[in-house]
Amino acid sequence: MSQASIDVGYAATLARLNLTDEETQLFQTQLQQVLTYADKLREVDVSDIDVAAHAVPMFNVFREDAPLDWFTAEDALSNAPRQANGLFIVPKVVE
Amino acid sequence: MTPRDLPALTITELQQLLRARDVSPSEAVEALHARIAEVDPQIGAYLSLDLDAAVKAADAADINLPLGGVPIAIKDVLNVAGQPCTCASRMLRNYVASYDATVVTRLKQAGAIPFGKTNMDEFAMGSSNENSSIRPVLNPWDRGRVPGGSSGGSAAVVAADEAFGALGTDTGGSVRQPAGFCGIVGLKPSYGRVSRFGLVAFASSLDQVGPLTKTVNDAALLMNAIAGQDAQESTSLPDAVADYTAGLGREIRGMRIGVAREHRAASVDPQVQAAVDRAVALFSSLGAEVVEVSLPHTEYAVAVYYLVATAEASANLARYDGVRYGHRAADAKDLLDHYGRTRAEGFGTEVKRRIILGTYVLSSGYYDAYYLRAQKVRELIRRDFANVFAKVDALLSPTSPVPAYKLGEHATDPLKMYLADVFTVPANLAGICGISLPCGFADSEEGTRLPVGLQLLGNSLDEARLLQLAHAYEQSTEWHTQRPPLARPLEEQRA
């Protein structure tokens, strides 16, 4: 995997993050160093490990399916960049 | 006891005065505010301070509650209703919290007064508090140097007597390492011990809220208030919360402390190693048995951390899209332009760097080789600790391989900065608890004294035993009574 070098531009597109050319070049170098360093993980025998998606063995933590009256629409709108009529105003996405 | 002397007290000492009615909660807040006004222009640790709200809370305080009337500083990554929550980022520069984080609710229920939001590395990403979009925090012990990070503000305010205690957060060492650099106590609870509800997420399987205090007893008091299961936070553990102060002062004779041979092999500043070696000798003289152990996967921990944490961060920071809150780029041409520019303008360099790396290692074609593999090695790191804790009660190491370094020293080499997290990240990966406490000083070339942090690690949910050991060490030394020269009233400094 270290043979292929990190494609910063590709990752930036996925991350919806506009990078300048300088940033792209800088990150290319720096992150390639990090990934090359991380290549040491390939030495480790992980053949008998089931992947752990959970940091602690807690599964299916449920609560009562009942509405709680603690976070209002007003709260949710309180930091909106633009709002009107109890709605978020957003850039048009559909023509 | 003049108002000038009040801020130098510990939480425990302040409580005694409050309950004896020698001091009122409002007087404590005012005295603290005066100290902050005097000292913080030299440190830069507070991002916001609502004196009116604090005085109001102080006037209504019930001193009979466990933390009644005690002001506590809060890292600006935790929501305090009605207060800014900026995460030291342009992205959230104008964000005002509309609810309290659970830890804040619990502090209030215990009678404490949240007072002041502290500076930090942006979105908790960094080890030096140089990644704040507002200003770096300066180490009170040597203002040419960093206080550590990402809870640099919380550590600095406690060290400089600008706070009686503070909350910070620790994802890869962000409570312990700044505590070490600033000469105070910093505890990372076991994963799941403290609720993350209302904590702005960085890496959801690693983040924990923890106390930064002047003494171990104070850390135990804060833990009593904040620990415990939260119905609104599904990774919080159901296990009962002990009284963390109960075991303090108990004998540690016969307890077993492990030192990992892989830690001995790591390259550590000689003065740091010397201070830690003296601490080992002190533990032995207190009757603890110090034994060598092995953590075979130590050399992989930093690599695992910077793949897992950045991956999780890339997912958690996807919500900053300029739609419902936070910064929004002006005059977007279309949706992609809106997202791309909003995020470019809102995030600082380190945050962008980690989002890019995290996105990449999760992307199709690379997920198996990087993220999945890292999670598997993480399991091996967990097993290393499980094996070791079957043989010892705690592990001991330096908190950081070096004392506080100079501002700007690591600016161009992210990997080098990441490698300095070698002692702290394993605890987050394994979900175990860890504490840093002061164990001495290193002399800088300029002749300033730089605190050295000693780290103890305990098994998951074994905070009580960890605090017991830490307290025994602390009470056998004078390190916790030392304050940076800055903290003395200016008249004294001039004398």
pLDDT in tens, B279-330: 999 999 999 999 999 999 999 999 999 999 999 999 999 999 999 999 999 9
Task: Decide if B325 and A42 are in contact by the 8 Å CB cutoff.
Answer: no
Which chain A residue shows the shortest CA-CA distance from B376? A51
**How many whole angstroms separate alpha carbon A64 and alpha carbon A69?**
14
| Sign of the dihedral through C-alpha B243, B248, B251, B252 | positive
- CA separation for the pair B433, B190 (Å, rounded): 4
Residue of B nearest to A6 (CA): B360
**B354 to chain A: closest CA residue:** A31
Told to judge if B190 belongs to the known catalytic residues of this protein, a careful annotator would answer no
Q: Which residues of B touch A17 (CB under 8 A)?
A: 340, 343-344, 347, 352, 355-356
Q: Whole-angstrom Cα distance, residue B27 to residue B265?
A: 51
**Cross-chain residue pair A17–B321, CB shorter than 8 Å:** no
Between chains, do B380 and A42 touch, taking CB under 8 Å as contact? no
- Look-up: residue for tokens 């990090």? A34
Active site residue B416: no
Verify whether residue B150 is a known catalytic residue: yes
Helices (H) then strands (E): counts for chain A: 3, 2
pLDDT tens digits for range B316-371: 999 999 999 999 999 999 999 999 999 999 999 999 999 999 999 999 999 999 99
Contact assignment for A44 to B300 by CB distance below 8 Å? yes
Q: How far apart are CA B199 and CA B284, in angstroms?
A: 39
Q: How far apart are CA A50 and CA B426, in angstroms?
A: 19
DSSP B477: S
- Interface ipTM: 0.94
Question: What residues of chain B lie within 8 A of the CB of A53, using their CB?
Answer: 375
Of the residues B89, B360, B361, B459, the best mutation for testing chain A's interface (the one with the most A CB atoms within 10 Å of its CB) is: B360
The tokens of B41 are what?
């222009």
> What is the full per-residue pLDDT of chain B (495 aa) written as tens digits?
788 899 999 999 999 999 999 999 999 999 999 999 999 999 999 999 999 999 999 999 999 999 999 999 999 999 999 999 999 999 999 999 999 999 999 999 999 999 999 999 999 999 999 999 999 999 999 999 999 999 999 999 999 999 999 999 999 999 999 999 999 999 999 999 999 999 999 999 999 999 999 999 999 999 999 999 999 999 999 999 999 999 999 999 999 999 999 998 788 999 999 999 999 999 999 999 999 999 999 999 999 999 999 999 999 999 999 999 999 999 999 999 999 999 999 999 999 999 999 999 999 999 999 999 999 999 999 999 999 999 999 999 999 999 999 999 988 888 888 999 999 999 999 999 999 999 999 999 999 999 999 999 999 999 999 999 999 999 999 999 999 988 555 555 544
Query: How far out from the chain centre does Cα B107 lie?
Result: 17
The size of the A-B interface in CB pairs under 8 A is 162
Residue B406 phi, psi (nearest 5)? -75, 150
